[in-house]
Chains A and B, each alone.
Chain A
Amino acid sequence: MRQVEYKQVTSARGSLLFLKGGNNAALGERVAIRDKDGQIRNGQVIRTSEDMVLVQVFESTANLDLENTWIRYLDQPFELPLSPDMLGRNFNGIGKPRDNRPPIVSSLVRNVNGAPINPSARAYPKEFIQTGVSSIDGLNSLVRGQKLPVFSASGLPHNRLAAQIVRQAKLPDDSSNFVIVFAAMGVSHSDAHFFETEFESSGVLRNVVMFTNLANDPPMERLILPRTALTAAEYLAYDLDHHVLVVITDMTNYAEALREIATEKGDVPSRKGYPGYLYSDLAEIYERAGRVKDRHGSITMIPILSMPSDDITHPIPDLTGYITEGQIVLSRELHSKSVYPPVNVPPSLSRLMKDGVGKEFTREDHPHVASQLYASYTRALEARNLASIIGAEELSGRDRRFLEFADAFENRFIMQGEDTERNIIETLDLAWELLSLLPPESLSRVSEAEIQKYHSWDETR
């Protein structure tokens, strides 16, 4: 560490400090900024040349003046000390305790940016996780090592769904529990409190590491928080052999902080003012989920984001969808019909489901049933749409059955209580019960043998 402090700030704007005289600062180097009151702020070099350095200040440059600001280069990147003592603790974005307990001391420190995982080191995620939620397990199953975001919007119960998943997630025949890394960015006090109480009441608190940045905490800290949290997650998974479930909320606040700093730096904007590198930047976070060969632990990631104006084509959900392995989309319409969890089935997807369900993992009919439910529900929504135009009485007999199916599917399959936990067999049996509302010749995604075995069609109903 360099002991010298430099006083060379030439301008301060938003969260950026421009320093003259290069001092050969390294890109990504951490700096300590002392203001006139002796307060220390944290910063990072984001551009460096022989005669100029650009520093991003996590706490913003408010109240700094050019005369009384001193800079110290710490000669190291942003690093996080790691130890098993992190479990049960709460930190801020740069890893400082928020819980009035002493900081983590450890000789093991890692650069929070990590390094890309070699694709040939990865193992393909395949192990079915039972969340106990039918609309997920039955239709869009989660597997260990997957990154499966929840696309939500303001006022929808994404927090409750995330908490339910955390509470119920398990492997059908494995008792080992998940360790939770919880990363919150720009969330309200009440949301943070909700999760803390949740973890406490379900008794997992000792297995949780929290990284919290509240809505009134410095926004720039949000840029480093998920990286810090994932560094902890990697340590728990690959050094300590835990299966880690990382819940990150809310990615929209992260991306907005990124846009803010990009605009300050004058980066060329692409869509809606977000920088062109938003995709790569998000990928650096999301791709840290996964499984690694010859390692026992794993990182399963559930990022939550709110879609601005409920728009799934907005750059944040859009780019997220292009990186993650599917998405669970929540629907305002179902929510207003009091369907919990209001999972909007058609646009939801789990890409890793195909290798994690079926005979070896859940039940042989599972992939076909899921596909059939999608096909029938889409068809049923068309019938419902038609009924709204011409009136339900005008529908053909077949279409009326589909109409009935749509209601049953929403009210019985998608809807389930916050405390209801259905195992995968219950979910599949329920699915067949509902498919039995439809005539067999309309079910082409399931095999004839499966119809024989599970479908109970009553022509006369």
Chain B
Amino acid sequence: MGSIVEVNGPLVTIRQDNIRNGEQVRLGKLGLVGEVISLHQDTALVQVYESTESLRPGENVIGLGKQLSVELGPGMLGQIFDGVQRPLNRILEMSGEQIARGLEVPSLDREKTWHFVPADKLAVGQQVCGGEILGTVQETETIQHRILVPPNTCGDIVEHACEGDYKIEDIIASVRNKNDQIEHLKMYHDWPVRTPRPYHSRTHSAMPLLTGQRILDTFFPLLKGGKAAVPGPFGAGKTMVQQQIARWANADIVLYVGCGERGNELVDILETFPELTDPHSGRSLMERTFLVANTSNMPVVAREASIYVGVTMAEYYRDQGYDVVMVADSTSRWAEALREVAGRLGQMPVEEGYPAYLASRLAAFYERAGNVNTMAKQSSGSVTLIGAVSPPGGDFSEPVTSHTKEIIRTFWALSKPLADARHYPAVSWTESFSDYQDRAQSWWAENVDHKWAKHRQYALSLLTQADELERIVNLVGPEALSSSQRWVLETASILKEGLLQQSALDEIDSYCSPAKQFKMMDIMLRFHETGKELIKLGAPVEQLAQLPENGKIRRIKSVFTNDQLSDMENFAEELFEHLDCMRAEYAGAKEVQA
């Protein structure tokens, strides 16, 4: 047994023989858990996941002989875990409203029974290897949990369980490995969080991750297995964007990681998700969702761990053949946790106090996103990673934002002026980008409309033209613009208010199906074209701008539901009929003039 030498905030120096780097330890009377991060001659440095208050030099240290790992098995969905995968509901039962320290709680429920259905392969004499499916249990109504052979195991089955009810500690198969040893397999296994889980090969999908948010899906698409970032100053809507994705994305599994953010935001999910219906499965959203929470007032070292704990659990469902989305709010808090430990270690800061390895850690984390053929080649799955970034002062040139921007492929930049005008989602159409748009295009062409890419391009160009025109107006006044330029401004305002703006709180508009997204854009662009013709025929812009149609088009989003597209079509026909009449009048008048 070792002993504590020094306590300095979350870092504790210990004297302990035969301890390894990365090994977990328990410290002192309270049994606080930490992880060795460096070794020196006869001492080791430990970062502690819990507050070290009241810890003293001389107290005992016990090495736990394993790295920071998570338990992977049925019982994770619907749960909320802390940054080191302790179930917060169990902790609530054990220690009340405030989280006590040094609690020993298994991550997965040991008492719960699961109905196990063996796979065909589960037969004596069969060889099974890492990643293969031993059988299934129904984890929630919607999700079938596939029990996997742990990645590093391979051998012949000598004994196995039949269909029936088991607890996760029960042995469901015993295999003889090539060293002639017997390994017992249960419904769960451990995996060290800092090691990416293995897969067979990477694949490239062209399936968009549809979120039901127009500015994301239509303008800056993300693919399943992709990596995206949402940077923005405080209050710009990062959390709301991520919550909307967690709600509506066409993924099988959603993992929400609250990393250094507010407790109430997690409660919001815990209270609302069970009541919401997944538009894809028709079942309660909570059946496919789980959470990892290290709120801003929880210890900072567990914040660093929480990201890895989360992504490892996400990979595990990927390995079962599922499309998993992990949203992390906020990766900046994770980076700050890195910085804090680095600072106390006396490591040389390179930019704004961050250590030199910030960029490589960020890259390594996002590299765990992707589409894969699973280890046993039986299926494919994906992990999509979406990280919020919270730049100090909203300045995107700071280290975490700028490094992240280099790594990710979809960038949803939130703008303070838009948020201040309550234009939500405050995603800037000038600063955001998506490298996936070409691949998304083929999906839209096949499934929605082949005009998608053209429309999208046209709408974006109107928006940028309008930005330019507004600059001119602000220099010399609106009189400097031609009629058709003023019409561009009008259309851009319709696009902004009617299409880009989408309130998460609007019952109808919170989720917008791809078909509705396209149809709305189509109507607005047609409106623009018709208006353009009318102006050519001499109709004054002011008259067009004051048409009641202007207000109606802006409200389409919250008038017609996703199932009422034909009503929307009828509405559009009526609207264009009216405009056609006007056009006929103006054309007539023009002819008379001529």
Residues of chain A touching chain B, judged by Cβ–Cβ distance below 8 Å, are 22, 24-29, 47-50, 77, 111, 113-125, 238, 267-271, 276-277, 279-280, 283-284, 286-288, 290, 292, 295, 313-315, 318-319, 321-323, 325-327, 346-347, 349, 351-352, 354-355, 367, 371, 374-375, 378-379, 385-386, 389-390, 394, 396, 398, 439-441, 443-445, 447-448
Q: Is B318 an interface residue (CB 8 A)?
A: no
- Check B262 for interface membership: any CB of A closer than 8 A: yes
Contact among A24, A115, A268, A314 for B99, CB-based, below 8 A: A115
Known contacts A122-B263, A276-B340; A375 and B421 CB within 8 A of each other = yes
B478 at interface by CB-CB < 8 Å? yes
Contact of B53 (CB < 8 Å), options: A27, A295, A346: A27
Task: Determine whether the beta carbon of A116 is less than 8 Å from that of B295.
Answer: yes
> A396–B478 contact, CB under 8 A?
yes
B8, B264, B293, B548 pick with most chain A CB within 10 angstroms: B264
The 17 sampled A-B contact pairs (Cβ below 8 Å) are: A27-B7, A27-B56, A49-B7, A111-B53, A116-B295, A116-B297, A116-B299, A117-B263, A118-B97, A271-B352, A292-B97, A325-B264, A347-B420, A375-B423, A390-B477, A441-B547, A443-B551
Q: Are B422 and A318 within 8 A (Cβ)? A: no
Chain A's nearest CB lies how many Å from the CB of B470?
Answer: 9
Chain A residues in 8 Å Cβ range of B186? none
Complex: A390 Cα to B480 Cα, angstroms? 11
Q: Are the CB atoms of A28 and B54 closer together than 8 Å?
A: yes
The list of the 10 closest CB pairs from A to B, nearest first, reads A313-B393, A49-B6, A283-B296, A268-B343, A321-B234, A287-B297, A390-B477, A378-B421, A346-B420, A115-B98
Q: Is the CB of A284 within 8 A of B297?
A: yes
Q: Is B566 an interface residue (CB 8 A)?
A: no
Identify A124's interface contact among B53, B260, B267, B555, CB under 8 A.
B267
Per the 8 Å Cβ criterion, residues 544-573 of B in contact with A are 545-548, 550-551, 554-555, 558
Bound: A346/B498 CA distance, A? 21
The docked-state distance in angstroms from the alpha carbon of A385 to that of B95 is 57
Closest residue of chain A to B542 (Cβ to Cβ) is A396
Closest chain A CB from B543 CB (angstroms): 12
A365: min CB distance to chain B, Å: 14
B36-77: contact bitstring with A at CB < 8 Å (1 yes, 0 no)?
000000000000000111111110000000000000000000
Q: What residues on A are CB-neighbors of B343 within 8 Å? A: 267-268, 276
Q: In the complex the two chains form, what is the Cα distance from A388 to B264 in whole Å?
A: 43
User: Chain B residues in contact with chain A, CB under 8 A?
Assistant: 5-9, 13, 51-58, 80, 88-89, 91-92, 95-101, 233-235, 258, 260, 262-264, 266-268, 270-271, 293, 295-300, 333, 336, 339-340, 343, 349, 352-353, 390, 392-395, 416, 420-423, 473-479, 497-498, 503, 505, 542, 545-548, 550-551, 554-555, 558
What is the chain B residue whose CB lies nearest that of A49? B6
A24 engages B58 (CB within 8 Å) = yes
Q: Is the CB of A287 within 8 A of B262?
A: yes
Residues on A with beta carbons closer than 8 Å to the beta carbon of B55: 26-27
A378 cross-chain contacts in B, Cβ below 8 A: 420-422
Task: Decide yes or no: A444 and B551 within 8 Å by CB, A28-B53, A386-B473, A386-B477 being known contacts.
Answer: yes
**A26 to B297, Cβ gap below 8 A?**
no
In addition to A26-B55, A49-B5, 13 A-B residue pairs with Cβ atoms within 8 Å of each other are: A27-B54, A47-B6, A113-B51, A113-B53, A124-B267, A268-B343, A269-B353, A279-B333, A322-B234, A390-B477, A396-B542, A441-B546, A444-B498
The CA of A57 and the CA of B52, in the complex, are separated in Å by 20
Give the residue name and chain of the B residue nearest to A277 (CB).
B340
A56 → chain B closest CB, angstroms: 13
> Once the chains bind, are A22 and B97 in contact (CB under 8 Å)?
no
A292 contacts which chain B residues (CB < 8 A)?
97
Please judge, given known A-B contacts A279-B336, A375-B422, whether A115 and B555 are in contact too, CB under 8 Å. no
Is B97's CB under 8 angstroms from A117's CB? yes
Q: Are the CB atoms of B235 and A49 closer together than 8 Å?
A: no
B53/A268 in contact, CB under 8 A: no
In the assembled complex, the Cα of A222 lies from the Cα of B258 at a distance in Å of 30
Contact of A371 with B498 in the complex, beta carbons under 8 Å = no
B503 / chain A contacts, CB cutoff of 8 Å: 371
Question: Is B420's CB under 8 angstroms from A276's CB?
Answer: no
Contacts of B58 in A (CB 8 A): 24, 50
Residues of A within 8 A of B498 (CB): 444
- CB-defined contacts of A116 to chain B, threshold 8 Å: 98-99, 295, 297-299
* Contact of A351 with B392 in the complex, beta carbons under 8 Å: no
A122-B57 in contact given A271-B392, A354-B505 (Cβ < 8 Å)? no
* A48 to B6 Cα, complex, angstroms: 6
One of B8, B267, B336 near A123 (C-beta < 8 A): B267
CA distance A321 to B394 in the complex (A): 11
Contacts of B416 in A (CB 8 A): 347
The one of B91, B473, B546 that contacts A118, using a Cβ cutoff of 8 Å: B91
Select one of A48, A325, A398 contacting B57, CB under 8 A.
A48
Contact B353 A270 (CB under 8 A): yes
For residue A326, which residues in chain B have a CB less than 8 angstroms away from its CB?
235
Question: Which residues of chain B have C-beta atoms less than 8 A from A441's C-beta?
Answer: 546-548, 550-551
Given contacts A27-B53, A120-B270, A389-B475, is CB(A270)–CB(B352) below 8 Å?
yes
Q: How far is the CB of B234 from chain A (nearest CB, A)?
A: 4
Q: Are B392 and A386 in contact (CB under 8 A)?
A: no
CB-defined contacts of A122 to chain B, threshold 8 Å: 263-264, 266-267
Instruction: Return chain B residues, CB-CB under 8 Å to A286.
Output: 296
**A22-B57, A26-B54, A121-B97 in contact; A318/B270 too (CB < 8 A)?**
no
Chain A residue at minimum C-beta to C-beta distance from B95: A118
Quick check: A120 and B57 within 8 Å, CB to CB? no
Residues of B within 8 A of A349 (CB): 235
A276 touches B336 (CB 8 A): yes
- Kindly provide the distance from the CB of A46 to the nearest chain B CB, expressed in whole angstroms: 8
Q: Are B262 and A268 in contact (CB under 8 A)?
A: no
Q: Whole-angstrom distance between the alpha carbons of A386 and B99 in the complex?
A: 55
Is A444 a contact partner of B479 (Cβ separation < 8 A)? no
Cα(A27)–Cα(B297), bound, Å: 18
Nearest A residue to B547 via CB reads A441
Closest chain A CB from B441 CB (angstroms): 30
B295 adjacent to A119 (CB under 8 Å): yes
List B contacts of A47 (CB < 8 A).
6-9
Q: Which residue of A lies closest to B423 (CB)?
A: A375
A78's nearest neighbour on chain B, judged by CB, is: B53
Q: Is the CB of B505 within 8 A of A124?
A: no
- Asked if residues B56 and A48 are in contact (CB atoms below 8 Å), the reply is yes
Among A119, A238, A371, A445, the residue within 8 A (CB) of B267 is A119
With known contacts A48-B56, A444-B551, A448-B555, A268–B7 Cβ distance under 8 A: no
A267–B505 Cα distance when bound, in Å, is 43
Contacts of A375 in B (CB 8 A): 421-423
Which of B234, B235, B339, B554 has a CB less than 8 Å from the CB of A276? B339
Q: In the complex, are the beta carbons of A374 and B421 less than 8 A apart? A: yes
Shortest beta-carbon distance, A6 to chain B, in Å?
Answer: 15
- In the assembled complex, how far is the CB of residue B588 from the closest CB belonging to chain A, in whole angstroms? 27
Q: Decide yes or no: A318 and B393 within 8 Å by CB, A270-B352, A277-B340 being known contacts.
A: yes
For residue B488, give the distance in angstroms from its CB to the closest CB of chain A: 16
**Which chain A residue has the least Cβ–Cβ distance from B263?**
A119
In the complex formed, the residue of B with least CB distance to A123 is B267
In the complex, what's the smallest C-beta–C-beta distance from A22 to chain B, in angstroms? 5
**Once the chains bind, are A394 and B551 in contact (CB under 8 Å)?**
no
- Contact (A385, B474) CB under 8 Å given A118-B91, A276-B343: yes
Cα–Cα distance between A379 and B420 once the two chains are bound (Å): 11
Residues of A contacting B101 in the complex (Cβ-Cβ under 8 angstroms) = 115
A25's closest neighbor in chain B, by CB?
A: B56
Cβ 8 A contact of B477, one of A114, A367, A389: A389
Nearest A residue to B57 via CB reads A50
Residues of B within 8 A of A49 (CB): 5-8, 13, 57
Bound: A322/B235 CA distance, A: 7
Question: Which of the residues A77, A119, A367 comes within 8 Å of B266, measured between beta carbons?
Answer: A119
Q: Given the complex of chains A and B, what is the CA–CA distance between A378 and B593 in angstroms?
A: 43
Nearest chain A residue, comparing its CB with the CB of B390: A322
Closest to A289 in B: B264
Determine how close the nearest CB of chain A comes to the CB of B140; give it in whole angstroms. 18
